[in-house]
Structure formats: structure tokens, C-alpha cells
Amino acid sequence: MSNPAVDLGVVVRSQRIADPGALLPLVPGPDGVAWVHHGDGMVGWGRAAEISVSGADRFAEAQRWWDALTAGAVVRDEVDVPGSGLVAFGSFTFSDRTEATSTLVVPEVVVGRRGDDTWVTVVGSGLAVPPELTEHEVPVQPAPELREGAVDGEAWQHLVADAVARIARGDLDKVVLARDLVATLPTRLDTRAPLTRLAADYPTCWTFQVDGFFGSTPEMLVRLERGLVTSRVLAGTIRRTGDDTHDLALAGSLARSSKDLEEHEYAVRSVAEALAPHCTGMNVPEAPFVLHLPNVMHLATDVTGVVRSDAGALTLTAALHPSAAVGGTPTDAAVALIDEIEGLDRGRYAGPVGWIGARGDGEWGIGLRSAQVGADGTTVRLFAGCGIVADSDPADELAESDAKLIPVRDALTPR
């Protein structure tokens, strides 16, 4: 599906504005898009152009559509920073075989902040006057009812044990298994409420929303900015206790854990190997650092490189997905095992989510700590996954998945 705007061309104008304050309250309704990190980022609303794609060719099809749209666009960018000018927000499915679709959306209005630069972009068939920006009050959401999703906790532990047995006999090295919870609300969810809470509670994560898929991810799959590429790898997790002294000791044990270091090494290796053909030079740190989040700590590594001139952010995203952090190692064997035993359709969970600019720059995270709003607006599926290796313990993995469900679960619950 494509929008007629591809044929007619769109007119885009970005201009500087006075700092409007917090970005998320500017969105006038629940159907906006968002990409916010430490208060910076972009929000948008309205739909000037969009495409839905599916299947194994979804990234290439979206790229062709984006190339056609940017080629025909008339852009007046008075700001000239990554994120100004013509941008699309996107969310892609984890699997080639899911019934869910992937999407790119060009909003009619985008408001952005990057350091000291703040701007508004208007997209349409002609130059339009930017809208007056006002804060909108978000109604308090009623508490949801939560229930187990496709596979309950006890059955999921058996799946983990099955995966460990297959790893032990040499079928594969690592697999990431996901589980879901289902939240039911008495009225349609206004996603601005959980988004606002996620951005406040997890400012170091990237809080996102595209087409009803929302969350706050700690993992940057790829950032491309003026030829420099960065990919943050997270693999290896431990739950925080809230006691700073105890958590410091736990961070030390995580950094020395052979199980978590093994899981992390697979993830880093898969990212480095995927990026290498697209880069003229790369830096892969020898050891990870411990990333502290409010609810968990992760082993983390930032892989960086200088990208070749013909590689844009969406091309790099397609090359990296699925990494070992969300699929496993070897990739084909891990994805096949996920299809065989996981028992749920991930949809866009663990797929790339983010934005792309007309010059190829962009930021694409992995859709973790996330949820998908159902078509009825009152049903929400929450997702979490864990990396399973030879030393994994099913009970420990269930506890880890519970910890990863906390951000979105709490964000759906009124304070």
C-alpha cells in the first residue's frame, strides 16, 4: 500500500521555534508518533504519507517507497540537524512470517528538540502555517486487568528447559524466547498516559510510539548521523533490588558472570559481523560495561563505525535484524526454534522501531519493553524476552522476564 503523495510530491518546511517545553504533552491525540530520549527527540501527528509492508521483502519495499517519496519532495529545511526536514517514523515486525504489518509514517506535523535546537516541521501539498503548539491534558487511565498471554509462566519454563537441552546437544548456541501478558481496559487506551510515564521513569531509554506500538527501549539497534554509525548491544541482565550497595555488588557479579558474558559475546559478534560490510572502519570494545536502569542492569557494548556512502539507516537496520540479542546464534537456527516452540506471534515486538531522514540519517531501536494496542483499543499485549544459553535456569529466566515486563505494566497502572 502506498500513498498518492508519492506521485504528487510533498512540500516540507522545517523552521526554528522557541523551546516548547516537554514534547509529549504537545501531541493532541493518542494516535501520534513519538521518539524521545532524555527529553530530546521528536513527536508528530497527522498522516501526510504512509506505507504498510509485510514479508521477507518488507525492508526493501519500504526503502523503495521512501526513496520515491524523498525524490519527489520539495524540502525547505531552515534548521539542518538530524531529524529536521522530511522524516518518517517506522515500526517493523520481528518475523517475515507474522500476520502483522510493518509501517512507515510521515506525520503532517513534527516537533523536535536536539540540544539547543528546537523546530517544527509541516508536511503537505503546499507550504502551510505551523500550528499553534499547546500542552494537552491526558485523561487518567483506569487500571487494566492483567492475564497470562499465549503461554503461561509454568509452560514457558518448560520451553526454556527444552531450549537449554537443544543447546546442550549442539543444535545452536543461544536463542531468545519471548512471552506476553494481556491487559484489558474498560475504555480505549489513550497511549499518551503510559508514554508520559515511561519517558519520566526511564529517561535514558528511547520512548517510542508508532501505529499503536509503544514502549521504552534501552537498546539502540543503529544510529546513523553524518556518516558515523553506532549500535548499542544489550545482552545479560540482572534485576535491581533498590539497595544501592547490594545493586553495586550485583553489577560486579553480572560483569563476571560466565553465562551472561557468553550471551553478550554472541550478541556483540552478530552486530559486528552484520555492520562490517557496510563500514570502512569499526571499533568493537573488548569488554562490556554495566548499564544501570531503574529496574534492571544490563551488560552493554557500543559498537561504532564509519559507514560507506551508499548505506542509509534503513539499509543498516535491515542488515542488523535480527541480531543475536533478540533472535539468537546462529540466526537461522535460533529463528527456526522460535517459530517452532515459542507459541506466540511477536508482531512488532523485538523488531526495529525508530525514524529515518531524507538524507539517510536515522535512529532505530529494538522494540523491547513494549506493547501493542489491539484494534479495539481496549486490549494491550505486553512483551518480554530472555536470552537462553547452556547455563540458563528456567526459574531465573522467568524472573528476568517478569522484571522486563515491569516498565510497561506499571506505565499502564495509574499512580
117-150 pLDDT, tens digit per residue, is 999 999 987 667 788 999 999 888 889 999 999 9
What are 216's three cell numbers?
Answer: 521504552
The predicted pLDDT at position 2 comes to: 44
Q: Within 13 Å of residue 236, how many CA atoms lie on the same side as its CB?
A: 29
Please say whether the beta carbons of 356 and 314 come within 8 A.
yes
Please say whether the beta carbons of 264 and 301 come within 8 A.
yes
313-362 pLDDT, tens digit per residue, is 999 999 999 988 899 999 999 999 999 999 999 999 999 999 999 988 99
Residue 149 amino acid letter = G
Q: Which of 47-51, 266-270, 276-280 has the lowest mean pLDDT?
A: 266-270
Residue partners of 367: CB distance under 8 A and separation at least 6: 91, 94, 208, 213, 215, 217, 348, 349, 350, 351, 352, 353
pLDDT beyond 50 at 3: no
Please say whether the beta carbons of 101 and 53 come within 8 A.
yes
pLDDT beyond 70 at 189: yes
**Residue 232 to residues 191, 199, 217, 259: CA-CA distances in angstroms?**
27, 19, 11, 20
CA distance linking residue 211 with residue 193, whole number of Å: 16
**Residue 236 to residues 255, 259, 263, 268: CA-CA distances in angstroms?**
9, 8, 6, 11
Mean pLDDT of 62-84: 96
The predicted pLDDT at position 325 comes to: 86
Q: How confident is the model at residue 8 (pLDDT cuts 50, 70, 90)?
A: low
CA distance linking residue 110 with residue 131, whole number of Å: 10
What are 357's three cell numbers?
Answer: 531522514
Q: Cell match 480505549: residue?
A: 188
pLDDT beyond 80 at 68: yes
Residue closest to 356 by CA, chosen among 316, 322, 324, 305: 316
The catalytically annotated residue of 50, 61, 174, 363 is 174
Mean pLDDT of 164-178: 97
**Residue 373 to residues 93, 214, 392: CA-CA distances in angstroms?**
15, 8, 31
Mean pLDDT of 18-25: 96
CA distance linking residue 51 with residue 62, whole number of Å: 7
What are 389's three cell numbers?
Answer: 544459553
pLDDT beyond 60 at 39: yes
CA distance linking residue 131 with residue 29, whole number of Å: 15
What are 170's three cell numbers?
Answer: 549442539
Q: Looking at per-residue confidence, does 126 or 177 come out higher?
A: 177
Mean pLDDT of 385-393: 94
Q: Which of 260-269, 346-355, 402-411 has the lowest mean pLDDT?
A: 260-269
CA torsion angle for 344, 322, 331, 337 (degrees, to 10)? 0
CA distance linking residue 136 with residue 210, whole number of Å: 19
What are 313's three cell numbers?
Answer: 539507516
The SS3 of residue 408 is helix
First-to-last alpha carbon distance for the chain, in angstroms, is: 41
User: Which CATH superfamily groups domain 5-135+144-411?
Assistant: Anthranilate synthase (3.60.120.10)
The catalytically annotated residue of 61, 99, 154, 219 is 219
The predicted pLDDT at position 328 comes to: 93
For the question of residue 404 being annotated catalytic, the response is no
DSSP state of 323: P
Please say whether the beta carbons of 331 and 339 come within 8 A.
no
The predicted pLDDT at position 4 comes to: 41
For the question of residue 225 being annotated catalytic, the response is no
Please say whether the beta carbons of 95 and 352 come within 8 A.
no
Q: If residue 181 lies in a helix (H) or strand (E), which one and from where to where?
A: strand 174-184
What are the beta bridge partners of residue 84? 82
